[in-house]
Amino acid sequence: MTARICVLGSSSRGNATAVSFDDSGKFVLIDAGLTPRRVRAALVAAGAAAHCHTLRAIFLTHLDRDHWSLSWVRQLQRSPVPVIVRRAHAELALSMGVPAACLRPMESAFSLGSTAEVRLIAVPHDDVGSTAFRFDCENAHIGHATDLGAVSDELLDGFAGLDILSIESNYDEEMQRNSPRPYFLKQRIMGGRGHLSNTQAVDAVRALTATGSVRHLILLHLSQECNCPILARRLFCEQLPAIAPILVISRPTEPTPVLRARRSESVNDQVLA
């Protein structure tokens, strides 16, 4: 039994991550900001189609357009699967077209059949917040947090002891300040209810990797205007040299390698053929 994760695409143009908890071919999506067609194409491009052929559920961090594409409405009407949101997002989800028959509002924690325990952690983002997810299955502990303006103690507690940590590293502060974006937008992003900067993400990763349990670190949702993968990688590797071999930076339109969490394998054995 091997848990696998593949970020299919991550940017303000669309976010979706595939996670499978075992070898059954069933998988869940965290966010559906890419169209069903793009999700399928990315799974094929990543070499993950054999392990992710049957969608089991969709977990939505929140309902912004880059996390929920309306193209899923018809797909879900044809082939319904549960769509999990935090209770605070349920009304908005219905108004954004999530079919009522699919919607599963949840609070704090629940079991995904016998496959995984799921924990939902509210994180600050605009008015209604976003949701970080922790999945605990037989052989892996996986955390996913994106679109958050700050890292709370609750999130640090909830993400303790992960094998796979995926977290937003949205912007470089200097690039953000010097960008031609309007002042109100910079305030929205940097004001504690927007996105995590690279340095905020470094601080969170420092705390979350201190015990040495994390085998894969994935940076999510890098701004295309106000960040640069080379810059982010350099900062992380300077600040946290030990994480250099496990660092993967997600891209807007290409999937990451498929990362797997079987603990008996070496760190280098991470890409599925």
- The contact set with Zn ion (CB under 5 A) reads 66, 147
Q: Which residues on adjacent β-strands are paired with residue 214? A: none
Nearest distance in Å: CB 96, Zn ion: 14
H or E element that contains 239: helix 229-239
Nearer of residues 12 and 115 to Zn ion, judged by Cβ:
12
In this structure, what DSSP letter does residue 88 have? Answer: G
Residue type present at position 108: S
Provide the CB-side half-sphere exposure for 45 (13 A, CA): 15
Nearer of residues 21 and 171 to Zn ion, judged by Cβ:
171
Nearest distance in Å: CB 14, Zn ion: 9
Instruction: For residues 124 and 152, give the distance between their C-alpha atoms in angstroms, rounded to a whole number.
Output: 9
Nearest distance in Å: CB 28, Zn ion: 19
Please check whether residue 232 is in contact with residue 249, taking contact to mean a CB–CB distance below 8 angstroms. yes
Nearest distance in Å: CB 144, Zn ion: 13
Nearer of residues 12 and 75 to Zn ion, judged by Cβ:
12
Closest CA to 72 of 39, 27, 121: 39
Nearer of residues 147 and 172 to Zn ion, judged by Cβ:
147
Nearer of residues 47 and 252 to Zn ion, judged by Cβ:
252
Nearer of residues 20 and 176 to Zn ion, judged by Cβ:
176
Nearest distance in Å: CB 93, Zn ion: 16
Listing DSSP states for 126-172 in one string gives TTT-EEEEEEEETTEEEEEE-S-SS--HHHHHHTTT-SEEEEE--B-
Sheet holding 247-249, edge to edge: 109-112, 116-123, 130-137, 140-145, 164-168, 216-220, 247-249
Nearest distance in Å: CB 168, Zn ion: 8
Nearer of residues 66 and 172 to Zn ion, judged by Cβ:
66
Nearest distance in Å: CB 257, Zn ion: 22
Centroid of chain to Cα 208: 16
